[in-house]
Chain A
Amino acid sequence: MKKIASLSAGALTAKAHAMYGDILGADIYREMLGCRSIAELAAFLRDHTAYASVFGDLARVRIQRARFEALLRKYTMTRIASLAAAEKALGGSLYRALIMDYDAELLITCAEYLGSEGVGESLQFVPAFYRENSQLNEQALFRARDLDELDAALDGTPYNRLLDGFRAGAPFSVRALELLVDECVNTRTEQLIQDNYSGETRSALLENLRMRADMKTVESLYRMKTYYPDADARRTGVLSNTVTAFTQSERTALLECKDAAALTQVLKRSAYGKLPGLFKAGVIEHKTNEAMLRAHIHQLRYSTIPQVVLISFVGIQQNEMTNLIHISEGIRYGLPPEEIAAFLVTKENVRASET
C-alpha cells in the first residue's frame, strides 16, 4: 500500500497537530533566557515543559553541556520517531526519508570522529526506531577509525560507493563528505517521493525537499561570496546538489556572481524571490531558518496532505532543538539574554517579520 487512506491520514495530521501543541512559545523562551546555568535550564525544561520526559531522572546527577545536547536530540528524535512510526504503521513510506536524514547525520558524525577513539556524543540516545529501520551498520561505523574502516562499514549498504572518490585520491575532509552525503540522501529521498507519491502530494513533498536543499546551498554561497569573493565556487562543490528548484541558468548565475549583493539579485529572480524576510539584513542562517520555519508553520496549519504535515512538524521540532542549543551555548559563554535571543528563530520572530 503506497497511500495513506483518508481516515488514517486524518489521524496522522491530528497527531502532528497535537504534538505541535508542545512546541515552546515566546513566554517559555523568555524565561529560559533568564537561566544562569545549563543545570538551571535543564531544571526549567523538566519542570515547565514536555521535556520532562528526558530531563526527569536527572535529580541525582549534575548535567553537563554534552549530556544536555544529547538529551535534547533524544527528545526531538523520539517525537519524530513517534510520528514516523505512526506513518509507517499506516502503510506510508515517507518515514524512510527521515531514516535517511538520520543516516546522513550518523555518517557525518562518524567521519568527524575518524582518527580519534571516541564516539559521537550527540547520538548517544538514538531511539530504537532509527536503528531498526536504518540500513547502516551503526556499530561498525562507530568502530571505524580510518577511511578504510569507514568504507568497509558501508559495504552492502546503499552508500557503498560514497567514498570511492576519496579512495581514488581526492582529499578527504568532513565538509567534502557532508556535501556528498547531502547529495546522496537528497537524491535518494527525491527518488523515494517520485516512486511512491503522485500529484499534489508529490509536488508538495518535492517542493519541501528542494527548499531545504536550496537553503543550505544559499547559506554556503553567501558565506563564500562574503568571505572569499575571489574563490572559484565551481571547484568547491557547493552547487553539486542536483535536487534543487533553481534552473540551470540560475545555477550558473549563482556560481558566477561576484559578491553577496549580486547573489541577492540572482536569488530575487529565482523561485525564492518572494520569500518574506530572506533578503533583509542579518545573518544568512537566521534568514534561511526563518524562511523554512515560516513555510513549515504554514504547511502544518493549512496543508491537507498528511505527509506534508509530518515533514513540516519535523522541521519545526528540529528548529526548536537548534534554538535550545543556542540558548545553552549562550548561557555557557555568559552572553546577555538579548544577545542570545537574537539567535533564536521562533514562531513569534516569523510572525513579526511578516508584519
Chain B
Amino acid sequence: MRSTPPPRAGPRPPGPPIRVLLAVVGVLAGAAIGRAAEPAPASAEAWQTLSLGDDTQAASQFAGIGATREAELGAALAAINRPPVTPTSLHDAQRQLTELARTADDPGHAAHYFLGRLLQLHPFAPDPAAAVREYEALVATGADDRWCRLALIKLVILRLTLVPGPGDLAARQAAVEAALTRTADAGTRRDLHLVIAEARLGDERYDAVTLGHLRAALAATAPADILRPDLLIQTGRLASRLGDRPVARASYAAFLRDYPKERRTFTVSSALEHLDGPFPP
C-alpha cells in the first residue's frame, strides 16, 4: 500500500477535485489493464454466442465491442458461417481474415489458419491445394502455437488424402512422418499419430508403421478418453493380423477390462478367444 507523501513546500498539493479525477483515471487504467489480462465480459459473451453457432448475433456483439484485434477476429470468424452464406459473404470473411493475418500475433495466426480452412471447406469452390499452401506458410513460421499446431495436423490430413506431396510414396511418407518433429506439444503429437494411423488404415496399409502410430496414440491417451476403446480394438486387430499376439492379447484384454458395457464386448471376446485361428470363426 502506498503511504501518504509528507507535506512539503512549493505549489499547493492537488485539491480534492483533482484527486478525485486522478483516482478515477487510476481506476479506469486499472480496469483497462485487467481487461487486457482476461476477456472483457462483452467479449466473453460474444465468444459464447459464437460457440453456440449463433453467428448473426455474435457478429452484432463483436461489432459493439470496438476495434480490438480480438473483436475483429471474432467478427471475421462469425462472417464465415453467418447466413446467408454467399460468395460475397465468404469473400468478405476472407478479406477480414487476410487483413488480420498481416500481423504475426495470436489473432493473426488464427486468421491465417482460418484462411486455410476457408479455402479447404469452401462451400462453392473448395481448393485443398491452396489450403495446403496456407497451412505450410503458417507452419513455416515455426511458432508452435495453437494455430500452427492445428495447421500442422490439417496439413498432414490433406497430404495423406487429397493433396499428396511431391515425390514417390516413400518420400511422401517420410514428409508426413517428419511432421511429428515439428511440434513439441504432446497433444498435437498424439493427434498426428491418430490421423496418420486413421489414413493408413483407410488405405488398408496394415503394417508395422501403422501399428506403431496406433500404439503411440494409445500410449498418449487417457483412460477416460472417448477414443481409447477404438484404439484398443484397432491395436488388437492390427497386431493380430501382423502376428503380434502378445500385443493383440493385451489390447483386447484391456478393452474387456475397462469397457465391460461396450456394445462390441462380445465381438472382442470372440476375437480374443480365436486369436490363434481365423476370425471370425
Say whether A associates with B. no
Query: What residues of chain B have their CB less than 8 Å away from a CB belonging to chain A?
Result: none
